[in-house]
């Protein structure tokens, strides 16, 4: 695989990700997640910000000693104490990296750092030179790059490349950019920055406008070959680019993104689950790739298609991302085919008439509960079977309705109406007269 086709995955879940409110991790939790990130196959793990606390320093140090395959990076501001502390934390790594950063936008220089552009350039250059004297692999990030003056940004990047930076990261720190704009910035830098061809260009996008993944993919198309992201997209404010979405976009759409990553996609869901366990922060149900509903189907038309061929509604298999199986959720939008399949999995082969009776009761129950579990399905089948046997014994006249025990816990009786079953359950002759299209879902 050539470098031109390879996109390196830089995971910052342990650093930027844990800066999310409620997502901080202790020493043991960082170690656990770092081992999972190694199993996941990420290329670089940003293990933390060592100057921030003794605990973070110790956690980064432990990760460097235990996780040997990926590059282990430590973050440092552009100042001597930060850089030296970062080096002390990662120097025992098999592949250490110092990642240093300094804001370059006028709004940050004026209001946050209160330094001039010239001071910014000199501090960035000198800091990278110091980091390079300690560590061969040095990454530099011009914070708030997408709101920086382009000519000044180019000047700073040339200075840090001359000072020895091996990776240049272009952060959309506040999630301000849109894909076309971000891609154009990357192309401009590639054309105007002297020496940039000899370094790796990286993208680091935040999700304030919901565009972090789209911006990252646009950057890859424009020549970026390292993408910085997090599990579940956690991170400051609205989060970072979601690792699982980036990886699977390239894997599912190689016609548009003909690039490879080293990520073991079957480990995506386990990584997501571990992070959720550690932080206690749940993933939204409709989250792409790893959300609870990502491979769940309730609508009858969708369920019918899935039963016939999963490609009708799933563009990837759940197993490809580590999800055990597709879920056909039984609710008020479900159809007969999904109900029949669930009955068969529970051991019941129903003929068309029996299935229709169960389905009518099922719909009435679904109006009262959001999701119908297997126990309720079993009870509905039991009711229909008991009612059928009772009808045969009583030899009632043709066309008479079959009664169902209204006292059953699963009996779909709004307000406890004891006559509902008799209104819902038709005779076999009435069922056979229904239009066939009702059986399509």
Whether 329 has a pLDDT exceeding 90, the answer reads no
Q: Does domain 8-279 have CATH number 3.20.20.70?
A: yes
Predicted confidence band at 426 (pLDDT cuts at 50, 70, 90)? low
Give per-residue pLDDT as tens, 51-101.
999 999 999 999 999 999 999 999 999 999 999 999 999 999 999 999 999
> Which of these ranges, 47-56, 113-122, 323-332, has the smallest mean pLDDT?
323-332
Across 172-190, average pLDDT: 98
The span from the CA of 388 to the CA of 27, in Å, is 63
Find residue 375's DSSP bridge partners.
Answer: none
Q: Regarding predicted confidence, which is higher, 430 or 263?
A: 263
Give per-residue pLDDT as tens, 220-278.
999 999 999 999 999 999 999 999 999 999 999 999 999 999 999 999 999 999 999 99
Domain residue limits, the chain: 8-279, 336-440
Predicted confidence band at 412 (pLDDT cuts at 50, 70, 90)? very low
Residues near 387 by Cβ (< 8 Å), separated by ≥ 6? Answer: 357, 402, 403, 404, 405, 421, 425
The span from the CA of 422 to the CA of 252, in Å, is 51
- Give the burial string for 268-299 (b: 16+ CB within 10 Å, else e): bbbbbbbbbebbeeebeeebebbbeebbbbbb
Q: Regarding predicted confidence, which is higher, 419 or 50?
A: 50
> HSE of 84 in the Cβ direction (CA atoms, 13 Å)?
3
> Which of these ranges, 23-27, 206-210, 307-311, 421-425, has the smallest mean pLDDT?
421-425
Whether 327 has a pLDDT exceeding 70, the answer reads yes
């Amino acid at each position: 695989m050539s470098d031109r086709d390879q996109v390196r995955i830089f995971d910052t879940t342990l650093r930027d990700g844990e800066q999310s409110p409620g997502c901080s991790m202790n020493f043991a939790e960082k170690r656990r997640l770092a081992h999972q990130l190694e199993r996941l196959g990420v290329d670089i793990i940003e293990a933390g910000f060592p100057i921030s606390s003794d605990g973070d320093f110790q956690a980064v140090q432990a990760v460097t000693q235990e996780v040997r395959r990926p590059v282990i990076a430590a973050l440092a501001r552009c100042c001597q104490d930060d850089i030296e502390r970062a080096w002390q934390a990662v120097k025992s790594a098999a592949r250490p990296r110092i990642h240093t950063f300094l804001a370059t936008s006028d709004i940050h220089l004026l209001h946050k750092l209160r330094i001039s552009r010239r001071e910014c350039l000199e501090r960035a250059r000198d800091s990278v030179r110091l980091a390079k004297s300690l560590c061969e692999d040095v990454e530099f990030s011009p914070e708030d790059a997408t709101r920086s003056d382009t000519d000044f940004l180019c000047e700073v990047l040339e200075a840090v490349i001359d000072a020895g930076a091996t990776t240049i990261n272009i952060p959309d720190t506040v999630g301000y950019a849109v894909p076309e704009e971000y891609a154009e910035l990357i192309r401009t830098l590639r054309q105007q920055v002297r020496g940039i061809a000899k370094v790796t260009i990286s993208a680091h996008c935040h999700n304030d406008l919901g565009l972090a993944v789209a911006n990252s993919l646009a950057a890859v198309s424009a020549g970026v070959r390292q993408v910085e992201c997090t599990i579940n997209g956690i991170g400051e404010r609205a989060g970072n680019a979601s690792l699982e979405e980036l990886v699977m976009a390239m894997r599912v759409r190689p016609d548009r993104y003909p690039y490879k990553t080293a990520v073991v996609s079957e480990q995506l869901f386990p990584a997501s689950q571990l992070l959720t366990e550690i932080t206690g922060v749940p993933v939204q149900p409709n989250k792409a790739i790893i959300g609870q509903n990502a491979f769940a189907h309730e609508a009858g038309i969708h369920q019918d298609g899935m039963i016939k061929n999963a490609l009708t509604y799933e563009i990837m298999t759940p197993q490809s991302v580590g999800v055990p199986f597709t879920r056909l959720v039984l609710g008020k939008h479900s159809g007969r085919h999904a109900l029949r399949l669930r009955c068969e999995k529970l051991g019941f082969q129903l003929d068309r008439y029996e299935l229709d009776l169960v389905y009518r009761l099922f719909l009435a129950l679904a109006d009262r509960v959001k999701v119908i579990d297997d126990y309720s399905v079993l009870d509905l089948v039991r009711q229909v079977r008991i009612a059928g046997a009772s009808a045969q014994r009583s030899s009632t006249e043709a066309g008479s309705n079959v009664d169902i025990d209204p006292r059953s816990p699963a009996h779909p009786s709004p307000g406890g109406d004891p006559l509902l079953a008799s209104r819902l359950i038709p005779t076999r002759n009435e069922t056979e007269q229904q239009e066939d299209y009702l059986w399509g879902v």
